Amino acid sequence: MTWGIDRISAFFLLAILALLPAANATTNCVQDQRLLGLTGEPAAIIWIAEDVAGECYYSQLLQVVLEETEVGLLRTYLREYGEWGAVVEAFGLLESELESEVAEQADGSWRIGKSTGEIHPPPDKPRLRDSFPEEAPWSAEGWNRRHGKDGIVLPVFEGMEVDLAYYHPDGFYVDYDVSQVHYFERAGIVVVFTRQELQGSGKDTMHGFLVFRIVPAQH
């Protein structure tokens, strides 16, 4: 039996297409992040445990290192998914700063310590949000790499002045909910965890966290 050129070409085309990933394939990489605490002086180190389920299926320790003029991120992967017991136990042996009181209000805002400081959800930016699927359907990381801080809408701080020191690159920071707030008064640091309803390619979540330094009041 002899095959015509067209049939051979079609056969090879189908073979190539079979090897390509499906355009609508889902990986369902769902993040779960929690703060372990803060250590270090004068450089502060924020310890965050992250589990990423779905096809990604890994656990990593994120350590945000804040020096006076520089900020860096260390990633350490766990050998076994979700096995945080030894890490939490080791952290308990370190000198760490206790968190100050933070209270969530009925309107979705957060009161910081015993001060008059409050954190309110970010203003809605529907036009910016809607541009995400057009510009960066691959991931929040791609969006952040392209836009930097211009692609981030910050929560509103009232009664205190802050500077954004770090944003986790896997979060999409437009029209998000504030899910957790942690305040370290002595270090002058606020950590805001964000929850994003919009999903990236593969139905991957795009939650994240923002780290702020409190600007001392001028007397």
Quick one: tokens of 121? 């959800």
Model pLDDT for residues 97-144, shown as the tens digit of each residue: 999 988 888 788 999 877 668 999 999 999 888 888 766 557 899 999
Model pLDDT for residues 177-216, shown as the tens digit of each residue: 999 999 999 999 999 999 999 998 889 999 999 999 999 8
58-66 and 118-120 beta bridge pairing: unpaired
Question: Which residue, 100, 48, 39, 32, is CA-closest to 66?
Answer: 39
CA distances in angstroms from 87 to 43, 61, 91, 174, 202, listed in the order given: 21, 9, 6, 32, 30
CA of residue 211 relative to chain centroid, distance: 10
| pLDDT > 60? residue 22 | no
Higher pLDDT, 6 or 87: 87
The residues that bridge with 102 in the sheet, in sequence order, are: 112
| pLDDT > 50? residue 17 | no
Higher pLDDT, 46 or 4: 46
